[in-house]
Structure 1
Amino acid sequence: MVRLGVAEDQPLAVQQWQGLIAINYPARKFGLNRHVTITEAKKQCPNIICQHVATWKEGDAKWDYHDDAFQNIATHKVSLDPYRLESRRILACIKETLPADLQKVEKASVDEVFMDLSAQVHSILLERYPEISGPAPYDDPTEYLPLPPSTALDWQADALIDLDVEETEDDDPDWDDVAILIGSEIVRNVRAAVREKLKYTCSGGVAQNKMLAKLGSAHKKPNQQTIVRNRAVQQFLSDLKFTKIRGLGGKLGEQITSSFNTDNVKDLLPIPIEQLKQKLGDDTGTWVYQIIRGNDASEVNSRTQIKSMLSAKSFRPTINTPEQATRWLRIFVSDIYSRLVEEGVLENKRRPKTMNLHHRQGGQTKSRQAPIPSGKKIDEAGLFEIATNLLGQIILEGKVWPCANLSLAVAGFEDGIAGNMGIGAFLIKGDEAKVLNSHTRDVSVVESTPHRAEKRRRLVPTSGIGRFFKTESTEEHDDEFGAQASLDMSSSASPGHQTLDVRYADTTSRPSLVQEASTVGKHLPKLGTASVLKQKDITGYTCDRCMAALGSAAALQSHQDWHFAKDLEEEDRPRTTAKPFTTTQNKKVSGASGKKKALGSSKTEKGQSKLTFG
C-alpha cells in the first residue's frame, strides 16, 4: 500500500499466479481470506486491488513488477527481494530508536522482530526509582523490596490481558508490573518511529519471554499492542489452542492432540509431567509441561545469520534444452548475488564457500557441488561460470530432459577476513621510494665504519710447560689502529691506558693467544676482535708455525723455543705416561678363586720409582 500510494482503507490483496497470499484488514471485512480465488475475491469485493508480486522474467537481469506475470508462469519466477529490502529498513529503524549500548534485537522473519528490553528497562527503573539502587533491605539479599510508590499504572491505549482468577485489579502493582509498563512505553515509541519514518503499522506484544510476547502481538490487530503481565499468564494461555504456540503447530501438535484428545491448553494443564514424558519422551514432555505454563527459556539472539541462500523454479510446463536451463541459471545467479550484496559480500563481511545445483527429471534428482574460490572476489560473472559448469556436469550424465525443477544454492557462509593486504601494500613506489633509497645509501656510508668492540678476556690457568718460558708483553690490534698505535701501547703501560698481558696456553698442540685485561682505561678506544691467528703483524716478527705476531726479535726467539720445548714434550709423552695402579690389600673379589697381584707391582721402567703404601 505504501508503494502504490493507496488509501489505508482500500481493500487490497497480494497475488501470486492465480492465488492470493496476503489480504489487508479492509478486505477481510468482506469475508475474504487467503484460500479464495481471485474471481471469488472480486465477486465479494468488487473494488479490491490485486497486486501481483515482483518476478524475475526469463532473460532479464533484474526483478520487476509485471502486469502479465500471472499469465506467464512458465517464464517468470517470484522475487522476494522487495520484502527483504523493506524488512531491513524496518529493522534499521528499530535499532535507531533503541539505545545502541542497551539494545538486543533479533530478526525472526521478514516481518517479525524480537527485542530484549531488559537492560533498558533496568536503566529506566534506576532513574525513576533511585531508592532501589541502594543495598538490600537490612543487607539481606533475600529480603523483598518495598512495594512501588505508585498505586496505579497508566497503560494508555494498550490491550491488557485480564488477571488470573486469584488476582484482582484492586491489588497494588508490584515491580514486575512496573517493569512491564516501562517495556510497553519502549515498544510504543518503536512502533511510532516506524509509522512516522516508513509509514508502516506494527502490532506488538509485551511479556516476560519470547513465547508470550509473540502470542500477545497477534492478539490484537492491526496497529495495537497487547500487555501480558506476569499475574495474567495463566488466564491468557488457558483460552488458547496450544497449536498456536511456536513449536506445537506441526507434527508434535498433531501427536499431542491424538494422544490426549484435545487441542486446548486448559485441558493439558491437569496432566502430570510423568504422563507427558511417557507419551512424548522425557525431553519433549518436560518442555511441553513448561511451555503451556508460560515458561520459555529461549533468549533473544541478536546475531542470527543466514546459513544458505536458495533460488529455485518448478517448471510448468517442463523445459527441454540446455539453453533454457542456462537462462534460468542466469536468473538464479542474479537473485542470489543481489542478496549476497545485502549480506555484505562486497565489503568481505561474509561469503559462502560452496555452490550446489539440484536438477529433477521425473522422479530422479541429481545434484552437483563445487567450491567457491576463496582467493577471488565474488562477483556475478564468477558465480554464473560455476553454475554453468555444474549444469554441464549433470548434462553429461544424460537423461536430464525434460527438466521439472532446477534450484541453485550457496552455503557454508563464513566471516570474511579483515585487514589482509596484497603484495602491493608491501611495496613503495614513486617519490617515496626515491627518498627512501637515498636515505638508505647515506645510512650505509655511515655504518661502513667498523665499530671497535671490547675484547673478551679468557683466563687460563698458567700450568704446563708454558710456565717455564717468559714472554714479553705485546699488543694485538686490528687494521684500524696501525703499527704506530701498537708500538706506542706496547712500550709503556701508563695510567689511563689499557695493557694486555698475552699468554700462551698449553691446552692444544698449537698455541693460541689468550688476552687478559690488566688495566681498563677510560679514554682509550676499545680494541677490535679480529683474530691474530689469521692476521700477520706489520712489524714482521711473526711465527711461521702459528702465525702469532711478536713485538720484538727476542720475543720471537723465545716463542720459537717454546715450540721446540712443546715438540719434545709431545714426543716423550707416550713413554713417560704411568699406568694406573690399584691396591687389593685385605680385599677379595666376588667370584674369584684367589688373590690377584696388585697392578702397581709390575716391573718399573726407566725414570720411574716404586712406591710403597701402608
Structure 2
Amino acid sequence: MINLPDCLKDSKCIIHIDLDCFFSQVEEVRLGLDSSKPVAVQQWSSLIAVNYAARVYGVNRLISIDEAKGLCPEITLVHVPTYAPNETEPHYHTTPSRITHKSALDTYYNEGKKIFKIFRQHCSQLQKVNSDEAFLDVTTAVNERLCTSYISKRPELMDYLTGSLDGVDGGYHVDWTTSSTHLIPSLNEKARGTSYRDPSSWFDIQLSIAADLTKAIRKQVFDELHYTCSAGIAHNKTLAKLGSSMHKPNKQTVIRHHIASQFMKDITFTKIWNLGGKFGKEVKCDYNIEKAGDLWKYPLEELQHKYGDASGLWLYNIVRGVDDEEVNVIKGSKSLMSTKSICPPITSEQDLIPWYAVLSAELHSRIITNWNERHLWPKTLSISYKNSKQSKTLSKSTPMLHQCEVETSEKLRQKVKVLFEDVLDDLFPCTLLGVHATGLAPVSNDASNNNDNHTIKSFFTTKVPITSASSRFEPSSHVNKQPAALSMNPNEDLPSTKPPLPTGLTWICDRCNAPVPLGDVDEHTDYHFAFDLDNEGHQTDDINRKKRKDCEDEATTKTTPVEKRIKHLFFKPSS
C-alpha cells in the first residue's frame, strides 16, 4: 500500500451531520406529507419544529400557534404523541392538554437511533451531539481510501508524496462535482469568478474523499429512512459544524484548509460553537466585537491575562479556525427516566394516581428497549418529586424488579405506587414527578436464574445517582474540554461550552454547567433533549436555576486553583 503523504500525518477529517428539521421530517414521513408543503410540530401551545416550506411564510419556533396559522393558513400542525391519564401507550391525541397529558418523544428518539445506526456503519469514531446531530471522525477511513485507491489511480501524484502538489503541471485540481459539494470560495476564487478554482493541495484531496463518504452516508439515510440531512466537512469540529449550517437544507459544504482563517474572519462571533452563551457574550461586550476577525488584533498575551491561560489560548485559536478538540466516543447511558412537570400543582392523592400508570409505562418501554438493544438491566428503581413549598427535589429508591416480573408495566406501576405512598406527607402541592431506573449493568448468569438479582454483594456497591430534573452531578478533580449539547431551558441565559480545560475523565455541560463522567454524557444530553421539549411549557421553573447553583457550589469546592480561576468566569451568579 502507498504511504500516506507526510503533510497529512496529523491532519483530521471531521464530518458534522445535522438532520433538517428532524421532528417535522419524522411526521412528514409518518403521515406521507409533501415536504414542499408547510408543516410544523407542536407541543401544547408551542412550536418545536418548523419545516423549510413553513419558514418561507415567516413561521418559526418563537411564535404562537395562532400566529403561525395567521402567517400560513395552510400549514399542517402535528402535535407530538402524548399519554392521556392512565394510558400505558402514547397516542396522537387530537386535543391533548398539558394539565392532563404527558408528552412522549420516544417516536423521534427512536428514529434518531436508526440514523445513528447508519452513521456507525461508516464510522466508529462518532460523537452524539443530540438525537439528530453528530460529529464523525472519518480520518482512518479516508486515509485508507486515499492510499489504496485514490493515489494509485492518479500517477501524476506519485512523485509528490513527501511535498506539496505545486509541481504538478498546470496545478492539480480536485473534481468536487462528484460529491455535489459546496465549497466556500477563497478571496482569489471570488475575484476570478465561479469557474476558477485554486490549485488543490493534499489537504483538499483528503477532504474530497471525506466529501464522497459524506454523500454516501446522506444518501443511505434518505434511501432507507427518507430523511434529508446537511453536513459540513473540515479538518476540525468547529469548522465542520459551521459548514453544515451554510447551505441548508439537504446539502453539504467543505471548508478547505487554506481558507479556514479567511472563512472565520467574517463569521458572527457568537455563532461559533461554544461561544453562544455567557462566555461569548462577555468577550463580545469586553471588546465590542461582532465578527470573529474583530478579535484578531488582540495579542494572545492579553487574552490569556484577561481570561486565563487555557481560555485565552483557546479563544485566540478558535477565532482563527484552529481547533484540536477530539471527537469523543460516548458510551451508552447508565440510567433511564420518565418525568412530568405538574401545573397546576397536584394537591391530593387521587390526582396523583393516573400518573403512576403513565410514568411507569414510559419507563417500562425504555427499560425493555434498552434491554433488547444493550442487554443491560437496572439495579435500582427510584422516584423523584418536588413540591411548591421547597426548592429542592427529593427522592426515594428501592431495588429494581427482576426481568421476569416486568413483562408488562403493571408490576412496575405497583412498585412506583408504593414508593409514592411512602412520601405523601412531603409530596403536596406537587410540581414535579419522576421515575428512574439507574445502575444499568449486564445481568450475570446467576442473577438471570435467580428471582432476586440483588445479591449480598450488591449491598457493598456504590449507589448510582439519579439523573432527574434537579439531580446534582458530582464533579471530579479534572475537567474535560468536551462541549455539550442541549439547553434545559431555551430562554435562560446559561453559558455556552467552555474553552479547553485540563483533560480528564469528565465533561462540562455548557447549559447546566454540570461536570459529567464521560460514560454518562449520552444520558445527560438525552436528558436535556427530553427536558427541553417536555418541560410542559414552564420555562421559568426554578429546577434549572437550582441545578445550576448546585453545580456551581460543587465546582467551587472540588477544583484546583487553576480550574477555580476558569470556573469563576463561567459560573457567575445570576443577577
Change (3 A) 1:347 1:418: farther
Match of 2:428 in 1: 401
Instruction: Give the superposition deviation at 1:346.
Output: 7.8
State how 1:432-581 maps to structure 2 within 5 Å. Answer: none
Q: 2:442 aligns with which of 416, 421, 434?
A: 416
Asked if the contact 1:345/1:351 (under 8 Å) is kept, the reply is no
Match of 1:211 in 2: 238
Q: 2:185 aligns with which of 136, 150, 162?
A: 162
Normalised TM-score (structure 2): 0.65
Change (3 A) 1:187 1:369: same
Task: Give the Cα–Cα distance (whole angstroms) in 1 for the partners of residues 159 and 188 of structure 2.
Answer: 32
Change (3 A) 1:191 1:327: same
More helix by share: 2
Instruction: Give the superposition deviation at 1:376.
Output: 6.1
1:392 and 2:421 correspond: yes
Task: Give the Cα–Cα distance (whole angstroms) in 2 for the partners of residues 403 and 374 of structure 1.
Answer: 26
Match of 1:90 in 2: 115
Q: What do residues 473-520 of structure 1 show as CA deviations (whole Å, max 9, x unaligned)? A: xxxxxxxxxxxxxxxxxxxxxxxxxxxxxxxxxxxxxxxxxxxxxxxx
Task: Give the Cα–Cα distance (whole angstroms) in 1 for the partners of residues 197 and 49 of structure 2.
Answer: 43
* Superposition CA RMSD, Å: 3.0
State how 1:142-541 maps to structure 2 within 5 Å. Answer: 144=163, 151-156=172-177, 157-163=180-186, 171-344=198-371, 348-349=375-376, 351=378, 353=380, 355-373=382-400, 379=406, 380-381=409-410, 383-395=412-424, 398=425, 400-413=427-440, 415-417=441-443
Q: List runs of 5+ in structure 2 lacking aligned partners.
A: 1-27, 451-575
Q: What do residues 180-232 of structure 1 show as CA deviations (whole Å, max 9, x unaligned)? A: 00000110111111111111111111111122111111111111111101112
Asked if the contact 2:387/2:428 (under 8 Å) is kept, the reply is no
Instruction: Give the superposition deviation at 1:50.
Output: 0.9
Task: Give the Cα–Cα distance (whole angstroms) in 2 for the partners of residues 261 and 79 of structure 1.
Answer: 44
Task: Give the Cα–Cα distance (whole angstroms) in 1 for the partners of residues 296 and 410 of structure 2.
Answer: 58
Higher Cα radius of gyration: 1
Asked if the contact 2:211/2:233 (under 8 Å) is kept, the reply is yes
Instruction: Give the superposition deviation at 1:244.
Output: 1.9
Asked if the contact 1:165/1:235 (under 8 Å) is kept, the reply is no
Q: What do residues 280-332 of structure 1 show as CA deviations (whole Å, max 9, x unaligned)? A: 22222222222222222222233432244332222222222223223213212
Normalised TM-score (structure 1): 0.61
Asked if the contact 1:211/1:246 (under 8 Å) is kept, the reply is yes
Instruction: Give the superposition deviation at 1:55.
Output: 0.8
Instruction: Give the superposition deviation at 1:145.
Output: 5.9
Asked if the contact 1:362/1:404 (under 8 Å) is kept, the reply is no
Q: 1:114 aligns with which of 125, 135, 151?
A: 135
Q: 2:56 aligns with which of 19, 29, 44?
A: 29
Task: Give the Cα–Cα distance (whole angstroms) in 1 for the partners of residues 216 and 373 of structure 2.
Answer: 34
Change (3 A) 1:237 1:386: farther
Task: Give the Cα–Cα distance (whole angstroms) in 1 for the partners of residues 153 and 163 of structure 2.
Answer: 13
Instruction: Give the superposition deviation at 1:76.
Output: 0.5
Q: What do residues 15-63 of structure 1 show as CA deviations (whole Å, max 9, x unaligned)? A: 1111211111011111111112111211111111111111111110011
Q: What do residues 217-262 of structure 1 show as CA deviations (whole Å, max 9, x unaligned)? A: 1111111111101112112211212222222111212221222222
Change (3 A) 1:308 1:281: farther
Q: Count residues with an aligned counterpart.
A: 410
Change (3 A) 1:346 1:15: closer
Which secondary structure state, in structure 2, belongs to the residue aligned with residue 119 of structure 1? helix
Instruction: Give the superposition deviation at 1:277.
Output: 2.1
Task: Give the Cα–Cα distance (whole angstroms) in 2 for the partners of residues 125 and 235 of structure 1.
Answer: 27
Which secondary structure state, in structure 2, belongs to the residue aligned with residue 370 of structure 1? strand
Match of 1:605 in 2: none
Which secondary structure state, in structure 2, belongs to the residue aligned with residue 3 of structure 1? helix
Asked if the contact 2:82/2:91 (under 8 Å) is kept, the reply is yes
Asked if the contact 2:232/2:240 (under 8 Å) is kept, the reply is yes
Match of 1:104 in 2: 125
Asked if the contact 1:345/1:378 (under 8 Å) is kept, the reply is no
- The amino acid of 2:434's aligned partner reads S
Change (3 A) 1:124 1:29: same
Which secondary structure state, in structure 1, belongs to the residue aligned with residue 143 of structure 2? helix
Change (3 A) 1:376 1:46: closer
Identical positions, percent: 31
Asked if the contact 2:189/2:198 (under 8 Å) is kept, the reply is no
Q: Which has the higher contact order (CA 8 A, sep 6+)?
A: 2
